[in-house]
Amino acid sequence: MIAIISNPPPLISLLSIPNLHSSFASPLTCRRRRFQICASSLVLPLLPFPIDQVLIPSEVKSLHLYEARYIALLEESLFQKNKLFVHFVLDPIGLGGTSAEASFAARYGCLVTIEKVEKLDIGALVLIRGVGRVKLLEFRKL
């Protein structure tokens, strides 16, 4: 599944999120990184999670991906320049085709960057970091 996303109002500057960038990064590097990550709307892959596994911006999480569909999502994200996808809380009660039809939990997600991938015999161990909150505008099943 993929989503068309946008930054929800009010937009919180990514530079104000703690731990977004390392302490040794220059201000110019931080501005470049912020420019690369921010966009008015993008089409990105979604990685669904149960409602008890919310990821918030600046949080780091380790995932063991082993199902073929999640490995395909990982490969799709790795081929992108910024290695981004959306960490998404799947709310089966309210998941419509547009954001207006979806429940609150299904309308927002966390934009995630892939920091490290370690291939295993079965699947891959992936280290991800939340970089910002996004609003999901539309869902498309591929």
What's the pTM value of the predicted model, to 2 decimals? Answer: 0.63
At residue 140, the pLDDT reads: 72
CA angle 52, 57, 62 (to 5 degrees): 60
At residue 64, the pLDDT reads: 94
| Residues in Cβ contact with 82 at an 8 Å cutoff, skipping those fewer than 6 apart | 36, 37, 113
Quick one: 2-140 is in which CATH superfamily?
LON domain-like (2.30.130.40)
CA-CA distance, 3 to 108, in Å (whole number)? 11
At residue 119, the pLDDT reads: 94
At residue 19, the pLDDT reads: 40
Please identify every stretch of the chain with a pLDDT value under 70, giving residue numbers as ranges: 1-41, 91-106, 142
